[in-house]
Structure 1
Amino acid sequence: MTTYYYAAASQHFLLEEEPFAEVINERTRHYQEQEKEKDFWLIRQPAFLEAPELAAVKAKCPQPAAAVVSTNATFITWLKLRLEYVATGEFEAPSATIPDPLASLATTAS
């Protein structure tokens, strides 16, 4: 199993109220300059929030939610400092309750 770290918030807050695109573009450029492989993903309506162990996080996060998921804990800490009003935490996957750490409920919505 792999440990994944996340920063979650409402989609509206994360993608419209915060300078999210600027922050992610800055980080992407930094990774390219360092020749580092990307280790973070933006997920709209992340399925991992449906796991019973994350019910308290989901309850505090206005829906529909969005999350940045990474295998790099330092990046999520950096993101939390930049964006401030996001919920952060970690989970391990794949597991019985989180089979795909990057799955989105948005792809299955009609």
Structure 2
Amino acid sequence: MYHYYFAIASENFFLDQEPIEEILRERIQYYVNNNREIDFWFVLNSTSINIIQNDNSYFDMSDSLAAIVSLDKQFIQWLKLRVSFVQIGSFKSESIFVPK
């Protein structure tokens, strides 16, 4: 069983209001420098987000959603502190997360 953690917000927030590309690029560089396998995904409005949204009923957003999904709970908690205006949560899956 895989335990995933996520930070979710409107697509507009992630793409236009926050430097999310820079944050993720820095995180990738950190993983490369430490020989770690990348264990996070940036997902735009997709069926994967619908699954997250349905499992976590506290989302009431009419905008298109985007999410950062990771196996690393601490990364998502850090992201919440860094970005602030996101909702975080978790879900479990028997298979590896593959954004659709």
Counterpart of 2:58? 56
Aligned equivalents of 2:2, 2:12: Cα separation in 1:
29
Higher RCO, Cα 8 Å, sep 6+: 2
Q: Per the alignment, in what secondary structure is the counterpart of residue 77 of structure 1?
A: helix
Evaluate the alpha carbon distance shift between residue 77 and residue 50 of structure 1 in structure 2; reply closer, same or farther with a 3 A threshold.
Answer: closer
Counterpart of 2:44? 44
Q: CA RMSD in A?
A: 1.8
Unaligned runs of 5+ in 1: 105-110
Q: Give the TM-score normalised by structure 1.
A: 0.79
Q: Give the TM-score normalised by structure 2.
A: 0.86
- Aligned pairs (5 A) from 1:1-110: 1-45=1-45, 46-51=49-54, 53-57=55-59, 59=60, 61-94=61-94, 101-104=97-100
User: Is residue 43–residue 67 contact of structure 2 (8 Å, CA) maintained in 1?
Assistant: yes
Q: Which runs of 4+ in 1 moved over 4 A?
A: none
